[in-house]
Amino acid sequence: MSAAEKAARPFDLVVYGATGFTGGLVADYLMRTMPEGGSWALAGRSREKLDAVAARLAEARPDAPAPGIVLADTENPASLEAMARQTRVVLTTVGPYLEYGEPLVAACVAAGTDYVDLTGEPEFVDRMYLEYHEAAVASGARLVHACGFDSIPHDLGVYYTMKQVPEGVPVAVYGAVHSNAQFSGGTFHSAIGQFARLREAGATARERRKQEGRPEGRRVKAAPTKPHHDATLNRWLVPLPTIDPQIVLRSAAALESYGPDFSYAHYASVGSPVTATVGMVGVGAIAAGSRVPFLRSQMLKRIDRGQGPSESRRARSSFTVTFVAIAGGRKIITRVSGGDPGYTETSMMIAESAMCLAFDDLPPLAGQLTTARAMGDALLERVERGGLTFEVLSA
């Protein structure tokens, strides 16, 4: 795919899933922030629902240019490929990604189109690496998963922290996440789907490790974790097995600037040992229940897809991720913070990621990439302008 051919496409970016809860927030954000001359489109499988989103946007911003409309259904691969060939970047909020994601990745790889998503599903990311990384390198497509709360604050938070530590020395970093937010139906369904497939996810991860190998001449590893009281932060820390530490370690493996010997550990930060215990027991019970088909269907009935926290609930939500880096005899503490992590900030982060790929001057890379590797400083500046705070608390 030549650069001229790609530049001639009608859209800079397309929002696939614009009729969903998060996709609707992404569309609102782009309507406010798309640069002059930028062209974009709302995409989904229902013309009627897409027209309703377009009408809502036009009412809120009658002065802004209207986005285009593209019909594409995950069940119809030709419609996905036609969509991928009309744009330079596809932003997708159609999840759970393990259920719906692969045909779109395949279409973007075939069309040499850049791709961003909101997955927090490690098995999906590993499967896409195994199936499409090499083909994406060949076609020039950048596949950047986890462009929401999973995992931008963590990936760019560690990237920012590494700018504060002395160069060329071993570094041990741990991150501690705290939030008071609520999740949507789509996120709940994705989480239950993942819990039900932990065995398959483990096998795919092992296969990936075999194929990907390790960085040459440098050590990058996950540090062992256990629940404990952390004297530096004066908080109880509980191991948090999300996709975030995997993404951080992938960035560390790809970026020499993370030094000769890098380790990372990831935790939830809570105020008391009772909260820590209740949280671990609750998540353990949901994970165990997800593997029993009857219990799984009962849990999924409790929250419908398409629903999420109200605007007033989101306005009361916030998050912090605090990082402690121990390097060269120093302890450096940094923090990333923002408002409602799952939706308000997530829609900003994925929209900024898509605009970053579409409009910024970035390293000439292709294949599956993390946000820090693909976009680094350019995305850091964008999400800071979008409202996240990155700060050094102690150096």
Which residues contribute to the site for ligand NAP (CB under 6 A)? 17, 19-23, 44-46, 49, 73-75, 93-97, 100, 118, 120, 148-150, 184-187, 190, 305-306, 308, 342-343, 346
Separation of alpha carbons 349 and 358, rounded Å: 14
- Residue number with CB closer to ligand NAP (120 or 122): 120
Nearer to ligand NAP, 137 or 286 (CB): 286
Instruction: Give the 3-state secondary structure of residue 316.
Output: coil
For residues 147 and 118, the answer to whether their CB atoms sit within 8 Å is yes
Cβ-based nearer residue to ligand NAP, 232 or 310? 310
Q: Which is nearer to ligand NAP, 100 or 362 (CB)?
A: 100
Q: Name the DSSP class of 361.
A: -
- Contact predicate 332/317, CB 8 Å: no
Residue 96: CB minimum distance to ligand NAP, A: 5
In contact, 343 and 29? CB cutoff 8 Å: no
Residues in the chain: 395
Per the CB < 8 A criterion, the answer to whether 73 and 47 are in contact is no
**Least distance from C-beta 157 to ligand NAP, angstroms?**
14
Min CB(171)–ligand NAP separation in Å = 26
Per the listing, tokens 């890379």 go with 365
CB of 243 to ligand NAP, least distance (A): 8
DSSP 175-222: EEEEE-----HHHHHHHHHHHTTHHHHHHHHHHHHHHH---TT-EEEE
Smallest separation (angstroms) from ligand NAP to the CB of 362? 22
| 160 alpha carbon, distance to own chain's centre | 17
Q: Which is nearer to ligand NAP, 184 or 317 (CB)?
A: 184
The region, left, alpha or beta by phi > 0 then psi within -120 to 50, assigned to residue 234 is left
Closer CB to ligand NAP, residue 267 or residue 343? 343
Q: Which residues contact 280 (CB under 8 A, 6 or more apart)?
A: 227, 238
Q: Are 334 and 325 in contact (CB under 8 A)?
A: yes
Other CB atoms within a 10 A radius of the CB of residue 47 amount to 10
Number of Cβ within 10 Å of residue 327's Cβ equals 22
Q: Which is nearer to ligand NAP, 19 or 263 (CB)?
A: 19
Determine the residue with CB nearest ligand NAP. Answer: 95
Of residues 94 and 332, the one with the C-beta less far from ligand NAP: 94
Q: How far is the CB of 60 from ligand NAP (least distance, A)?
A: 19
Q: Tell me how far, at minimum, the Cβ of 322 lies from ligand NAP, in Å.
A: 19
Could you give the CA distance from residue 133 to residue 116 in angstroms, rounded to a whole number?
14
